[in-house]
Amino acid sequence: MTTHEQLAAARPDFAAIAAWIPHGASVLDLGCGDGSLLGYLKSERDVCGYGVEISDAGIVACVQNGVNVIQNDLDSGLKDFESHSFDFVILSQTLQATRHTEPLIQEILRVGREGIVSFPNFGYWKNRLDVLLGNMPISKELPYQWYDTPNVHLCTFHDFEQLCAQLRVQILDRRVMSGRDEVQLLPNLLGSMAVYRFRLAPKSA
Amino acid sequence: MFGGEKVVGIVSAQRAQFETPLHFKSGAVLPRYELVYETYGTLNADQSNAILICHALSGHHHVAGHYADDAKNIGWWDNMVGAGKPIDTNKFFVIGLNNLGGCHGSTGPSSINPETGKPYGSHFPVITVEDWVNAQARLADLLGIQQFAAIIGGSLGGMQALQWSLAYPERVRHVLAIASAPRLTAQNIAFNDVARNAILTDPDFHAGDYYTHGVVPTRGLRLARMLGHITYLSDDAMAHKFGRELRAAEFNYSFDVEFEVESYLRYQGDKFAAYFDANTYLLMTKALDYFDPAQAFAGNMNQAFAAAKADYLVISFTTDWRFSPERSREIVRPLLHNRRNVSYAEITSAHGHDSFLMPDPHYFSVVQAYLNNVYRECAA
């Protein structure tokens, strides 16, 4: 397996995201970590990409990996980025850890033509079961203890879609996953993670 | 010297003479001049591994290593430049020079003007970052370097590195602008103006021609450096270093040196005034103030950077308030606008503007990681 195949296996949302991105698109990846998604998109889609990352370790890793990275706290907004300057703004597995989540979604659609967001589903049946049995869920998608989690804004798919409707955000596409498999049936119960593609709803709609 | 040894070792300065007149941005012309420089490491066969280090206000050509006859005279960036260090002289051919107008050997106000047989003094042209870069380009020609792998500078040096990528976009592949700014703010210019006024109003200044009077405007230069020094440190760093410590056991209710911080500043001022030239200080601060690539584009920095072709690494330090992180972001934004490859790191550091000269593991690892990739391109 090549590095990129390994990556796609480890992060099923990567392949889903890449499938939506046309060749040569401009991409801003928020909370880009070590830059693996951007590296993946660069090799698969030849994107012009930049990452935003807050951690020092992430900055060094991105620089090592030859990925453009801007050190910035997402919760202070995207003020370094001009309006409508990217085809896609991606927030991969980071939404739940942002403090100012609602303004950030608006910032994503100020800077990007379309937004792509992936996040774990708190409504996944195993999470519901954990809570029913009396404990906060801990899983591959939610690997933290309640007291050390960076996830301050966990939500279900329903919750996210409700917020989108409230913000006049039009959901263009959605891929619900359980591990590496795509889920069609009862997504808010059977899906552990989803990737959404969205844009601002056209004014006339 | 062993490969694993993290030193440059013994170095020596070299001189380059230029007989072609240099036309300054101000309109002035310097018919001939000398630049003093040092090199470390080896230029590879296709001349693709050269790095130019541009110095800041008080810097010079002696970047790394020490002199055979003066082991204590260690280069000003010896922690960054050397074998196995972030700017690795095992990989790169590194050049340090003293800028024109300097006082460390390159032609400057204290040099003898061959036309008059006296020091240039007030007749030395007011110089800009653009002029420096043009002079540096001639040194590159002389050394057979068509294109630099990277040009690196902190503070005023960062401005020169940026200017290279605007004036000679084909001649630089990577720019590392550290603790720098695309142009100064009013506050920063104001600090420079106070420093200049300290020198200009010193009775020993003699309109810049103090050399022929056999005096030096030491008081002015000392004050200028004391002021500068305060702005290079952070509030926290000063509090940590000196606090309210007194030199004596109690107050003596006089205007003598009482607080440790006063003692330190005066010592720094005296030390600096003993070796630095006041006219050079004036020129350097003016070059800082004038630099503004957007000036020719009605203030539009995005347009100013449209000519750039290099890749960039921009670094700032959290407690630097003289060249704050926001100034570095002002470099990043036009680069993003023009879709240049750019990375930006904001280093958490307690040392204010001086941080760019301090060894910090994270800072060094960012520079090292970036330059490793630059080297991979050279080797390819």
- SS3 (DSSP) at B87: strand
Task: Please write the tens of the pLDDT for every residue from A84-93.
Answer: 999 999 999 9
- CB-nearest to B337 from A62, A72, A82 is A82
Chain A hits for B341, CB-CB cut-off 8 Å, are: 68
| Cβ contact B137:B22 at 8 Å | no
- How far is Cα B148 from Cα B181, in angstroms, rounded to an integer? 21
Q: How far does the CA of residue A107 sit from the closest CA of chain B (Å)?
A: 16
Q: Is B360 touching A (CB cutoff 8 A)?
A: no
Name B40's bridge partners.
Answer: B94
Q: What is the pLDDT along chain B (380 residues), one digit of tens a residue?
A: 344 445 688 999 999 999 999 999 999 999 999 999 999 999 999 999 999 999 999 999 999 999 999 999 999 999 999 999 999 999 999 999 999 999 999 999 999 999 999 999 999 999 999 999 999 999 999 999 999 999 999 999 999 999 999 999 999 999 999 999 999 999 999 999 999 999 999 999 999 999 999 999 999 999 999 999 999 999 999 999 999 999 999 999 999 999 999 999 999 999 999 999 999 999 999 999 999 999 999 999 999 999 999 999 999 999 999 999 999 999 999 999 999 999 999 999 999 999 999 999 999 999 999 999 999 999 76
Of the candidates B243, B281, B290, B280, the one whose C-alpha atom is nearest the C-alpha of residue B262 is: B243
DSSP classification of residue B115: T
What is chain B's mean pLDDT, rounded? 96
Calculate the alpha carbon distances from A55 to A50, A61, A62, A80, A153 in Å: 15, 10, 11, 17, 19
pTM for this one?
0.95
Torsion of CA B298, B162, B103, B7, to 10 degrees: 170
Buried b (16+ CB within 10 A) or exposed e, A143-173: eeeeeeeebebbbbbeebbeebeebebbbee
Q: Which 45-84 residues of chain A touch chain B by CB within 8 A?
A: 48, 50, 56, 59-60, 62-64, 66, 68-72, 80-82
Rg (CA), chain B: 21
Of the candidates A72, A193, A171, the one whose C-alpha atom is nearest the C-alpha of residue A124 is: A193
Task: Please write the tens of the pLDDT for every residue from A118-127.
Answer: 999 999 999 9
Please count the other Cβ atoms lying within 10 Å of the Cβ belonging to residue B352.
Answer: 26
Q: How far does the CA of residue A170 sit from the closest CA of chain B (Å)?
A: 27
- How far is Cα A37 from Cα A92, in angstroms, rounded to an integer? 9
In chain A, which residue's Cα lies nearest the Cα of B374? A66
List all residues 6 or more positions away from B320 whose beta carbon is below 8 Å from its beta carbon: B179, B234, B349, B352, B353, B355, B356
Total residue count of chain B as it appears in this document: 380
DSSP classification of residue A183: -
| Cβ contact B77:B52 at 8 Å | no
Buried b (16+ CB within 10 A) or exposed e, B323-340: bbbebbbbbbbbbbbbeb
Give DSSP secondary structure letters for A78-145: -TTS-TT-EEEEEEES-GGG-SSHHHHHHHHHHHEEEEEEEEE-TTSHHHHHHHHTTS----SSS-S-
> Pick the catalytic residue: B106, B110, B111, B155?
B155
Cβ separation B337–A63 shorter than 8 A: no
Residue B268 identity (one-letter amino acid): Q
How many CB pairs below 8 A link A and B? Answer: 51
- How far is Cα B309 from Cα A167, in angstroms, rounded to an integer? 40
Query: How close are the terminal C-alpha atoms of chain B, in Å?
Result: 27
Task: Please write the tens of the pLDDT for every residue from A49-88.
Answer: 999 999 999 999 999 999 999 999 998 889 999 999 999 9
- How far is Cα B261 from Cα A55, in angstroms, rounded to an integer? 35
Residue B260: both structure tokens together: 């440790």
DSSP classification of residue B172: B
| Cβ contact B229:B268 at 8 Å | yes
| Cβ contact B265:B226 at 8 Å | yes
- How far is Cα A92 from Cα A3, in angstroms, rounded to an integer? 19
- How far is Cα B354 from Cα B62, in angstroms, rounded to an integer? 18
- How far is Cα B210 from Cα B102, in angstroms, rounded to an integer? 16
- How far is Cα A129 from Cα A137, in angstroms, rounded to an integer? 8
- How far is Cα B135 from Cα A141, in angstroms, rounded to an integer? 58
- How far is Cα A158 from Cα A176, in angstroms, rounded to an integer? 12
Cβ separation B373–A62 shorter than 8 A: no
Q: pLDDT value at position A2?
A: 61
- How far is Cα A78 from Cα A108, in angstroms, rounded to an integer? 8
- CB-nearest to B332 from A48, A59, A70 is A70
In chain B, which residue's Cα lies nearest the Cα of A64? B369
Residue A149: both structure tokens together: 């989690």
Residue A174: both structure tokens together: 């959605």
Q: Is A37 touching B (CB cutoff 8 A)?
A: no
DSSP classification of residue A24: T
Is B131 a catalytic site residue? no
Q: pLDDT value at position B9?
A: 85
Chain A hits for B348, CB-CB cut-off 8 Å, are: 56
- SS3 (DSSP) at A198: strand
Residue B246 identity (one-letter amino acid): L
Is B353 a catalytic site residue? yes
